Amino acid sequence: DAGITQSPRHKVTETGTPVTLRCHQTENHRYMYWYRQDPGHGLRLIHYSYGVKDTDKGEVSDGYSVSRSKTEDFLLTLESATSSQTSVYFCAIGRGTGLAGATGELFFGEGSRLTVL
Amino acid sequence: QKEVEQNSGPLSVPEGAIASLNCTYSDRVSQSFFWYRQYSGKSPELIMSIYSNGDKEDGRFTAQLNKASQYVSLLIRDSQPSDSATYLCAVKRPGNTGKLIFGQGTTLQVKP
């Protein structure tokens, strides 16, 4: 158990409303990631973080923002949800310390299923 | 061309057989490769990582890497019904951020 919890696990919202998904880890990992998973597209990286207040974009970042004010929490925000953002969102933590960086070995949370009507 | 390609399947094998899952990637400078298993409705879990050409064995699983051919495979020996899942191939982008590019996954069905 990598000590990752995501909340909420399920959410239904309406187009145009803001949504925030939370990822919480208990193991002090530096690297955290948000992916979305859709049929036909697999897992795609939205944003990632390599430390407190250090974040960067992934391949599908449009319409999403993130924040990391504490090591243990990585928040994903949809400022104005659209139907195209209906998806399953996975948070992951990555192993890796020091100058070598992240290894690519990821441990995923249980996922948050978001439906935008 | 997708950066990481897998046949979506389903790949169906009888119990006890060898299941062979394949993956190709486009970026020649990639150095780190991973196989994740995802049961239906669950999150992906890491089962194998491989960094050097050749084979890497872990129990019933063998990962094979051929960088010249840009090809990664996963062999599952003595397949069990509990191996039925989607297997995701992932390639790490160069650099130290740990960013992975995933294939779409191959669904494996092991029939008793």
For residue B90, list chain A residues with Cβ-Cβ distance below 8 A. Answer: 43, 104
DSSP state of B52: S
Q: Residue B2's pLDDT is what?
A: 82
Q: Residue A41's pLDDT is what?
A: 83
d(CA A45, CA B1): 18
Q: Residue B95's pLDDT is what?
A: 80
Quick one: which of B66, B72, B82 has its CA closest to B3?
B72
Please classify residue A73 by burial: count the beta carbons closer than 10 Å to its beta carbon, then call 0-12 exposed, 13-18 middle and 19+ buried: middle
Low-confidence ranges of chain A (pLDDT < 70): 1-2, 97-101
Cβ contacts of B5 within 8 Å, gap of 6 or more = B23, B24, B25, B103, B104
Cβ contacts of B48 within 8 Å, gap of 6 or more = B34, B35, B56, B58, B61, B63, B74
Give how far A108 is from chain B: nearest CA, Å. Answer: 6
- Best B99, B102, B106 residue to mutate vs chain A (most A CBs within 10 Å): B99
Helix (H, G, I), strand (E, B) or coil at A99: helix
Helix (H, G, I), strand (E, B) or coil at A71: coil
For residue A111, list chain B residues with Cβ-Cβ distance below 8 A. Answer: 43
**Per-window interface: A 22-81 vs B, CB < 8 A:** 31, 33, 35, 40-45, 48, 50, 56, 58
Q: Residue A1's pLDDT is what?
A: 54
Q: pLDDT digits over A65-95, tens only?
A: 999 999 999 999 999 999 999 999 999 999 7
d(CA B70, CA B97): 22
Q: Residue B8's pLDDT is what?
A: 87
Q: pLDDT digits over B60-92, tens only?
A: 999 999 999 999 999 999 999 999 999 999 999
Q: Residue A97's pLDDT is what?
A: 65
Give how far A80 is from chain B: nearest CA, Å. Answer: 26
In chain B the first and final C-alpha atoms are separated, in Å, by 36
Q: Residue A101's pLDDT is what?
A: 67
> 10 Å Cβ neighbour count for A65?
15
Low-confidence ranges of chain B (pLDDT < 50): none
Report yes or no: A27 and A2 within 8 Å, Cβ to Cβ. Answer: yes
Q: Residue B94's pLDDT is what?
A: 82
- Matching residue, tokens 């960094």: B51
For residue B96, list chain A residues with Cβ-Cβ distance below 8 A. Answer: 96, 99-102
